[in-house]
Every structure is written in C-alpha cells, then in structure tokens.
Amino acid sequence: MLPGLDVAQPNKADEESMEMGGKAYHIFAIISNIQEWTPQEIVAWYNGRCGKGESIHSILKSDLAGGQLPSKRFGANAAWWEITVLAHNLHSLLVLLALPGDLKGARFKRLRFQFINVPARLVQHARQCVVRYFHEGTLSIIESIRTNLRVLIPI
C-alpha cells in the first residue's frame, strides 16, 4: 500500500490523492496486459491517446446509429450496441488495411455516400452476378480496395 493511503484516512482514499513532503499528489494507475512494452512505452501510449475516446463515442452514436436504441428492452439495446461497435471495428480495419490514401481519414458517412448510395445496376448473366457502376471513379476505388484486401488473404 502507498504511504498515506490507509484505512484510517478514508477521505484521502476516496479522493485518490495523498500528501508527501508537504505536496499533494493525485494517484492513478495504468493497468495493461501488453508484456512486450516497457513501462515507459505504455505510459507514452496512454498519454498519446488523449481525446480519442470521446471522438469514437461520437462516431458510434452519430454515424453508426448507436444513439438511437431500438427497444425498451435491455438485451435488444445491448445487441444493437454490440452491432454498432462491430461495424465501427470493421470500418477501422477497412480504413487501416484497404482504403486508398485519399480515403484513409474518411468517416463512415462519406464511405456510405461514396460506395453504398451510388447508382449501379446488378446484372446476372451466365451464372455470374456483376455490379455495374455508372461512375468510373467508384469502380476504380472499389477495384483498389479489392486488390488491397486480396493481398491479405493467405494462399
């Protein structure tokens, strides 16, 4: 136990602070399961990620409909939130591994309007199903993404 944080002083234990040498210190801990990193690397990573949690939460609620819960039942809402988080993780993987350079920082809404809400025709012929895009730019971006994803598939 740290000096100054014992049971006899419950107010300091609740405040997560202590006094040493006439100075008050705020106490917190970083717990990690990353064994390959040194403690200095873990602290540097922790300090470098500031502000990301709020932006991710905003994306989950705004872009991926995590803020509009579908039911009054807790289980249904929990499933909805899990699907939202899964969609965010898949989007993050797509951005990291497959998107071309100009779309690396694109949010889900931009990708939706660039790839999903585009005019196209679904053609079935000779036991094949083909998507024909009306915009040449969309086709080239999708071909680039497919090429990047093909590299990841082990043969």
- How many other CB atoms are there within 10 angstroms of residue 134's CB atom? 10
The percentage of residues in the chain with a pLDDT greater than 70, rounded to a whole number, is 89
* Closest to 5 in 3D by CA, of 37, 138, 19, 155: 19
Residue 1's pLDDT band, with cuts at 50, 70 and 90, is: very low
Residue 4 has pLDDT above 80, yes or no: no
Residue 142 has pLDDT above 70, yes or no: yes
At 63-119, the pLDDT tens digits run 888 888 899 999 999 999 999 999 999 888 888 888 888 888 888 888 888 878 888
Distance of CA 148 to the CA centre of its chain: 20
